[in-house]
Amino acid sequence: MGEEDIRKYLSRHTGGAKPAPKRPARIARRARPQQQEAFKDFSATHLYCPKCKQANPVRENIMLYLSDGNLFNYSCEICGTSVGTRKGGG
C-alpha cells in the first residue's frame, strides 16, 4: 500500500482529514571538544559474554606495551572468555 493509497483511504474514512505533515529529520550534533575528551579514555566494567550469554563483570589485563599506548584485553570474570580489547593509556 503506497502513500497515495493511504491518503485516499484516510480521506474516505476520516471525513477528509489529511495525515500529519512529515517532520524534518533531526541532525545529530557533534560533541563539544570537552565532551570528546571526557570519553577519550575509559574502562568497561561489564561486557556481553557470548559463552555465558549475558553481560558480566570483566577483568582488564595489559596485553602489549606500545609506544603510542597500551593494548588491554577484557576477559569475563565468570568463565574467563576474552570479550574485547581496547587501546589506551600512553
Q: Which three cell numbers stand for residue 61?
A: 589485563
Q: For the domain 43-90, what is the CATH code?
A: 2.20.25
* pTM, entire model: 0.55
Tell me the C-alpha distance between 75 and 80, whole Å. Answer: 5
Per-residue pLDDT at 31: 62
Q: What is the pLDDT of residue 34?
A: 65
Q: Is there a contact between 53 and 74 (Cβ–Cβ < 8 Å)?
A: no
User: What pLDDT does residue 88 have?
Assistant: 81
- Mean pLDDT in runs of 10 for the chain (90 residues)? 74 62 68 65 87 94 89 94 86
* pLDDT value at residue 20: 65
Amino acid at 67: S
**Residue ranges of domains in the chain:** 43-90
